[in-house]
Amino acid sequence: MKVSPTYERNLEIHLHGPGPSDVPGEVLRAMSVTTLGHLDSEFIRIMDETQAMLRELYQTKNRMTIPISGTGSSGMEALVANLIEPQDKVIVVRNGVFGGRIADEVSRFGAEAIPIDLEWGTVVTPEQVREVFSGKNCQALFLVHAETSTGAHQQHMREIGEIVHRNGALFLVDMVTSLGGTEVKIDEWGVDAAYSGTQKCLSVPPGLSPITLNERAMEKLRGRKVRSWYFDLGMIEKYWNEGHQRKYHHTAPVNMIYALHEGLRLVLEEGLDTRFQRHRRNATALQAGLEGLGFTYIVRKQNQRLPMLHAVYLPEGVEEGRLRKEIKSSYNIEIGGGLGKFRGKAWRIGLMGHSSTENKLYRLLNAIGEVFKKYGISGDGAAGSQAARAIYQDTES
């Protein structure tokens, strides 16, 4: 069988699903730079710079701030494998698919997951956290900062962190979708350990999971045999944090770290405040556009909606799968379907990182509007882009 090289194929697609997001040309070019050995002195310099930029993005001084080899789920498994012991009691907030995934992971490692089960599309309150801790000896609380299945944005992080620490537990957080798209303050919020992914708001291809652990978390794993060899952070620490005396653990994905280095450089060059403001502004415009086309948001409270991921119900009676396929085939735009209980009822629309621009938003809304008009779902296919334009005009005046 003769197979043509991938780079000769027309693979252009505009990514507006729940991840990955569009990747800037600078990042793609960084991936094509000559591969170095994973103990080469120049590569070690790149590693050090990558760590420094990750600390700035996470807003932390944590020494153990590194990219784990693997997608965002590898970060979750690394935290559970290193910080959760068999027989531990771990409170897990389950308000969507990914909270449920954490609870499953905790139980697989022999610990007891104590769930806080919430209506999907809502977030946990400090009072609910305080109540679950009452009378229980729990070793950790795990929650999702940005629940990708519902578009819910967890609030009151600092207050929740204080409650967790008063109960002698670790505060562990999934930041896969939030990092790089909205404010994250690891040290100020008292987060002991967190993980993310490169493919969302960092606009780097999937393949790495940036994690950060403070000394309190590191003390939990030191001196014991972690059940996962590949994710043993005590061993990995000696590769990432030992200056030029690095101890080999596994072969690092060198070119993916080039890509992350360049992606982080672009994030910090833009400036965090500017970047977060861009995501918020485009989110407000997209919300107006989607509501103008008849969508309704899963997350009912405005201040609990994510700026980078919009989970919305379609107008009644719409066959969502057929419309998504047509938008992709006709306009090369990818939109995500609903997960779990929202499968077949909702879309998950991403405005993440490099995909979050005014021009790309108009292209997205125009495509949806034209398909809606074609099938008689909306009489005015331009209603979405007109509503978004009004938001941009208001913010400019």
Confidence tier at 374 by pLDDT (50, 70, 90): very high
Q: Which pLDDT tens digit goes with each residue over 153-188?
A: 999 999 999 999 999 999 999 999 999 999 999 999
| pLDDT greater than 90 at residue 274 | yes
* pLDDT interval class at 262 (50, 70, 90): very high
- In angstroms and rounded to an integer, the radius of gyration of the C-alpha atoms of the chain is 22
Domains in the chain, CATH or no CATH each? 33-269 (3.40.640.10), 271-396 (3.90.1150.10)
Residue 242's pLDDT band (cuts 50, 70, 90) = confident
For residue 396, the model assigns a pLDDT of 75
What integer is the mean pLDDT of 198-224?
A: 96
Over residues 368-379, mean pLDDT:
92
Band of pLDDT at residue 397, cut at 50, 70 and 90: low
Distance CA 389, CA 230 (A): 49
Segment 359-367 shows an average pLDDT of 98
Q: What does the pLDDT average to over 87-103? A: 97
How many Cβ atoms from other residues are within 10 Å of residue 228's Cβ? 13
pLDDT band at residue 32 under the 50/70/90 scheme: very high
In angstroms, the CA 252 to CA 385 distance is 44
Q: Over 90: is that where the pLDDT of 12 sits? A: no
b/e per residue, 257-283, with b = 16+ CB within 10 A?
A: bbbbbbbbbbbeeeebeebbebbbbbb
When pLDDT is averaged across residues 58-66 and rounded to a whole number, the result is 98
